[in-house]
Amino acid sequence: MESPIANQLNTVFVHVSDLKRSVKWYCELLGQEFEEENIELPIYNMEINDYTGLILDAGANGTKIVKPSPHPLFNFHTDDIDRAYQFTTDEDYQVVSDLIRFEDLSFFHLKDPDGNIIMICNG
């Protein structure tokens, strides 16, 4: 039987406790302009390239209690892992791993304001 579900990752939901704080953090990390007046509870749809979206979700009443995973659930791509690592350390993001290098892949982890582990990866 042919599945009616597309073989495509559509949207990643990141559960957050403070929507404005998280929108600002992700906007700064991704080089997007932060416009506080465009934030409306309970979610914020980040502008992301290509097919996959990113929605920051503070819950129906805007007071979600977040229990972050100790493992990254997704990654943001970079073409220059060294520059990305330097940027995040220079800008005081909470980098929680060293830069890990393999032959065809390098990455590091940082925490968002709720403790969600985000991977930055060049592979």
- pLDDT tens column, 18-62: 999 999 999 999 999 999 999 999 999 998 888 788 999 999 888
Q: What is the pTM of this model?
A: 0.85
Contact between 117 and 72 under an 8 Å Cβ cutoff? The reply is: yes
Q: Which long-range contacts (CB under 8 A, 24 or more apart) does 87-90 make?
A: 88/29, 88/120
| Distance in angstroms (rounded) separating the CA atoms of residues 88 and 85 | 5
Average pLDDT, the chain: 92
Contacting residues for 35 by C-beta, under 8 A, at least 6 apart? none
pLDDT of residue 119: 94
| Distance in angstroms (rounded) separating the CA atoms of residues 38 and 36 | 5
For the chain, the first-to-last Cα distance in angstroms comes to 34
Give 8 or 120, the one with higher predicted confidence. Answer: 120
pLDDT of residue 3: 67
Helix/strand/coil for 66: coil
Q: Which residues pair with 84 in a beta bridge?
A: none
